[in-house]
């Protein structure tokens, strides 16, 4: 079955052209996006994703493409037309189409694009069981990482560097030697004192939706939590490390730069939080 995309008001085959050459998203990366998991045919953490979309749009002074109720209808229709039960929905809003000039006029009509694709639940389980290997790289991104901007070239290069080293993710390191986040994930450790730590949600990182949910779940389980930055050395000496993102929810990290984390297997806290997240996702 041909995949169906939603492009600026039209449902159409994914391989059919639909983006104008002078779309500012295409020419300037002038836009934002969201990625929402689909479980059992339903969108996971939908409200939180749309709240963050509103935040990103407001921070960049981009108009909403349509009211939220209408946007939710389109999201469901794209999922339905593609018959996706397990997968992800990608939603992108660019500032709009205009003659190429760095400055932008007010009142541009934003362009909404939406696609979905399947994602294997078996792959998620394999990652949970085996864990991933991480490479550390310098963080070269801009200063407003809290905005989910489509300008992702440093992230792309970081992930590609990791792949070329036969690793699955890159953790980015700031000028002070502290871990910011992954190329496409938030970073966590269980430190030597057994405290669950993740960097605070400032302009330095994207406030991941799974990150937000896991902080609530950790509180419910009475786990000691600290929103305190940690160094690369602390991560390598940690009892556990893991990443989080909407694609696979929890990615246990079993090595960083070839240094084995803990006993080299996914840790109990990461596994318990992954199970709790799965249960929460199915209640949506």
What is d(CA 196, CA 243) in angstroms, rounded to the nearest whole number?
Answer: 12
In 3D space, the residue among 250, 266, 253 whose CA is nearest the CA of residue 208 turns out to be 250
Q: What is the largest CA-CA distance in the chain?
A: 56
State the catalytic residues: 148
User: DSSP readout, 23-53?
Assistant: BHHHHH--EEEEEEEEETTEETTHHHHHHHH
Angle of CA points 153, 79, 90, to nearest 5°: 10
What is d(CA 222, CA 273) in angstroms, rounded to the nearest whole number?
Answer: 12
Q: Write out the two tokens for 33.
A: 């996006």
């Amino acid at each position: 079955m041909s995949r169906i995309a939603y492009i600026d008001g039209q449902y159409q085959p994914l391989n059919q052209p639909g983006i104008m050459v002078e779309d500012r998203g295409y020419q300037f990366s002038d836009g934002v996006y969201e990625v929402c998991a689909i479980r059992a045919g339903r969108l996971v953490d939908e409200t939180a994703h749309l709240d963050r979309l509103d935040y990103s749009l407001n921070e960049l002074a981009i108009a909403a493409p349509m009211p939220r109720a209408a946007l939710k209808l389109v999201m469901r229709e794209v999922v339905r037309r593609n018959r996706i039960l397990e997968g992800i929905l990608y939603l992108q809003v660019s500032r709009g189409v205009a003659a190429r000039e760095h400055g932008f006029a007010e009142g541009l009509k934003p362009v909404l694009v939406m696609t979905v694709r399947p994602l294997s639940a078996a792959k998620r389980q394999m990652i949970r069981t085996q864990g991933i290997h991480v490479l550390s790289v310098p963080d070269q991104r801009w200063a407003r990482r809290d905005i989910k901007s489509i300008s992702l070239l440093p992230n792309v290069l970081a992930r590609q560097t990791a792949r070329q080293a036969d690793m699955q993710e890159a953790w980015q390191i700031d000028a002070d030697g502290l871990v910011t986040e992954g190329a496409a994930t938030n970073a966590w450790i269980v430190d030597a004192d057994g405290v669950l730590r993740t960097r605070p949600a400032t302009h330095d990182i994207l406030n991941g939706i799974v990150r937000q949910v896991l902080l609530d779940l950790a509180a419910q389980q009475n786990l000691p939590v600290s929103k305190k930055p940690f160094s690369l050395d602390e991560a390598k000496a940690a009892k556990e490390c893991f990443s989080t993102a909407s694609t696979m929810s929890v990615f246990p990290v079993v090595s960083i730069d070839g240094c084995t984390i803990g006993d080299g297997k996914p840790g109990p806290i990461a596994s318990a939080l992954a199970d709790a997240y799965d249960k929460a996702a199915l209640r949506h």
